[in-house]
Amino acid sequence: MASITLQWPDGTILPAIGQGTWKMGEDPSQRKAEIAALQHGLDRGLTLIDTAEMYGEGGAEEVVGAALKGRRDEAFIVSKVYPHNASRKEMIKACDRSLRRLNIDAIDCYLLHWGSNTPTDEIIEGFMHLQQAGKIKGYGVSNLDDLEMEAWWQHDNGALCQTDQVLYHLGSRGVEYRLLPLLRERRLPMMAYCPLAQGGRLRQHLMSSSAVVDVAQRHGVTPQQILLAWVIREQHDQRSVIAIPKAVHPDHIDDNVAALDITLTPEDIVLLDHAWPAPTRRQPLDVE
């Protein structure tokens, strides 16, 4: 078992780094490599796999299903329903389609992908129905800010929500101001997506930042590994943050596994905080 772990609300112990699947299942020529990547991640103990009906319009779930062949019990599967499929009736159909593509009996945690026009009571009823039918083991949300979470928790069975999956990396720390403390108060894990800031300019900016490069050199690791170690740096009572980088390249997967063993020193944290400061006021939730 990897070094830094966290305990999911249902008691499952998970490594604090999982595997993302956005962009998987889009290009048939990549399918073999993507399946092999997820299997390599499982071999190395990255047991949580995050997917969604949206990714590759079902293609990513099919890749996950193929990777899980004969080893369903090793994995903790998170998938997401489109907000426009979140009505009680459509959610059941969407979940059935996901289960078929994933080729499993139940999703471990089924998330609302982002805020929906469907009334929250109806969405939660849908999740409860799926749970009673044994098709999901728990439910959560994604891309809801602190105020939306507080409103969610007021609904019947709203407190059963297991997680909020949001964008979080060193260059985007807005959730630290209020959302993350609220989740911690309730001892709920936050799932950090785009922990490596995905493609684009901000990523380059982060990777070449002298603070990140210095800390990476001190530890003899890559800047990307420092970004991951930073995201999972604080685990309060084993319920805090799980990073879900997407990686297809086998070396990337091995590096991500190794990031679970990096302990940033107080000096590292000060250096990174100075270059990429924590928020001092409430900020809108970042989504890219």
**Chain positions contacting ligand NAP, by CB under 6 A:** 20-22, 50, 142-143, 165, 193-198, 222, 224, 244-249, 252, 255-256
Q: Cβ 180 to ligand NAP, closest distance in Å? A: 16
Q: Cβ 248 to ligand NAP, closest distance in Å? A: 4
Report strand pairing: 5-7 vs 13-15.
antiparallel
Q: Residue 137 carries which DSSP code?
A: S
Whole-angstrom Cα distance, residue 33 to residue 39? 10
Q: Residue 17 carries which DSSP code?
A: B
Whole-angstrom Cα distance, residue 24 to residue 181? 32
Query: Judged by CB, which is closer to ligand NAP: 61, or 268?
Result: 61
Q: How far apart, in Å, are the Cα atoms of 217 and each of 127, 211, 213, 272?
A: 46, 10, 6, 13
Q: Cβ 227 to ligand NAP, closest distance in Å? A: 8
Among candidate residues 150, 129, 35, the one with its CA nearest the CA of residue 81: 129
Query: Judged by CB, which is closer to ligand NAP: 113, or 270?
Result: 113
Write down the residue that tokens 């299903």 correspond to: 65
72 close to 104: Cβ distance less than 8 angstroms: yes
Q: Residue 107 carries which DSSP code?
A: B
Cα dihedral 36, 16, 172, 273 in deg (nearest 10): -130
Q: Cβ 143 to ligand NAP, closest distance in Å? A: 5
Q: Cβ 20 to ligand NAP, closest distance in Å? A: 2
Among candidate residues 49, 54, 118, the one with its CA nearest the CA of residue 82: 54
Helix (H, G, I), strand (E, B) or coil at 168: coil
Q: Cβ 78 to ligand NAP, closest distance in Å? A: 8
Query: Judged by CB, which is closer to ligand NAP: 99, or 112?
Result: 112
Q: Cβ 73 to ligand NAP, closest distance in Å? A: 21
Q: Cβ 92 to ligand NAP, closest distance in Å? A: 21
Query: Judged by CB, which is closer to ligand NAP: 124, or 167?
Result: 167
Query: Judged by CB, which is closer to ligand NAP: 5, or 165?
Result: 165
The pair phi, psi for residue 96, each rounded to 5°, is -60, -40
Q: Judge residue 242's burial from the number of C-beta atoms within 10 Å of its C-beta, 0-12 exposed, 13-18 middle, 19 or more buried.
A: buried
Query: Judged by CB, which is closer to ligand NAP: 194, or 215?
Result: 194
Closest CB to ligand NAP: residue number = 20
Query: Judged by CB, which is closer to ligand NAP: 23, or 72?
Result: 23
